[in-house]
Amino acid sequence: MSDSDSASPAPVEIDRPIPNILVTGTPGTGKTTTSEMIANATGLEHVNVGEIVKAKQLHEGYLEEFDTHILDEDKLLDELEDVLKEGGKVVDFHTCEIFPERWFDLVLVLRTDTAPLYDRMEKRGYNQRKMQENIECEIMQVVLEAARESYAPEIVVELPSNTTDDIESNVERVQQWLEAYKAQHA
Ligand code: DAT
């Protein structure tokens, strides 16, 4: 299948002078670290969706077996709609398919090899079940496939996130992309 597969969504043209970027990927791939660095380098504002969900209780309880909160999607979308309408945000979340396509101008999907991903999750104290699920999710490229099904292929970019050098070069790529975007939308 090519990137221009006819089943993929067409690009949604929204004329925002400053773009919104979604940084997504399996937990532990480096979304928060990368988003913070993008924000520091560009002046865009980091929106950590996981933190908002917890702080504003946008969930319907906690699932102990999976060590995760059950997201209240409607409440979350209502909350974020206002935040994102001005543009200029770097949104960091492990799920990408729940958001309206029109919200984002660039979708970065971070990818990490099994060994470093395992180490990072172990350091975080994830239980075995959660680690195994996330490793499988990463190997099966679940988030990448979801991003490709939910957004126009030309705005979805897969980026390696195994080392700190990867983070630096990813941030540089975003800086270059942002300059081009701003020039086009000036
Ligand atoms: P996420 O937000 O995707 O769950 P994170 O940014 O919180 O991930 O990173 C988890 C841990 O892994 C954190 O200690 C920083 C480290 N890390 C993330 N990306 C990395 C990378 N590309 N190289 C080295 N360490 C990384």
87 is in an annotated binding site: no
List the pLDDT tens digit at each of the 186 positions of the chain: 444 445 567 666 677 999 999 999 999 999 999 999 999 999 999 999 999 998 999 998 888 777 778 899 999 999 999 999 999 999 999 999 999 999 999 999 999 999 999 999 999 999 999 999 999 999 999 999 999 999 999 999 999 999 999 999 999 999 999 999 999 998
- From the CA of 137, how far away is ligand 1's center (Å)? 17
Residue 152 lies in a domain: yes
Query: For position 4, what pLDDT does the model report?
Result: 47
Residue 4 lies in a domain: no
Residue 123 lies in a domain: yes
Atom of ligand 1 nearest to the CA of 160: 22
Q: Which pTM does this prediction carry? A: 0.92
- From the CA of 14, how far away is ligand 1's center (Å)? 31
Which residues have a Cβ under 8 Å from the Cβ of 29 and sit 6 or more positions away? Answer: 110, 111, 112, 117, 138, 161
How long is the chain? 186
- From the CA of 70, how far away is ligand 1's center (Å)? 23
Token pair for residue 57?
């209780």
Beta bridge partner(s), residue 47: 91
Q: How many domains does the chain have?
A: 1
Query: For position 11, what pLDDT does the model report?
Result: 62
Domain range for 50: 20-185
Residue 161 lies in a domain: yes
Is any atom of ligand 1 closer than 6 Å to the C-beta of 29? yes
- From the CA of 1, how far away is ligand 1's center (Å)? 31
Q: Do 84 and 103 form a contact (C-beta atoms < 8 A)?
A: yes
- From the CA of 126, how far away is ligand 1's center (Å)? 14
- CATH number at 75 reads 3.40.50.300
Query: For position 152, what pLDDT does the model report?
Result: 97
Residue 5 lies in a domain: no
Specify the residue with its C-alpha closest to ligand 1, atom 10: 28
Measured CA distances, 121 to 12, 50, 54 (Å): 35, 16, 20
Residue 92 lies in a domain: yes
Residue 87 lies in a domain: yes
Q: 15: closest CA among 90, 107, 108, 102?
A: 102
Specify the residue with its C-alpha closest to ligand 1, atom 6: 30
Residue 9 lies in a domain: no
Specify the residue with its C-alpha closest to ligand 1, atom 19: 30
Q: Which of 33, 46, 130 to mutate to test the pocket of ligand 1 (most atoms within 8 A of CB)?
A: 33
Is any atom of ligand 1 closer than 6 Å to the C-beta of 167? yes
30 is in an annotated binding site: yes
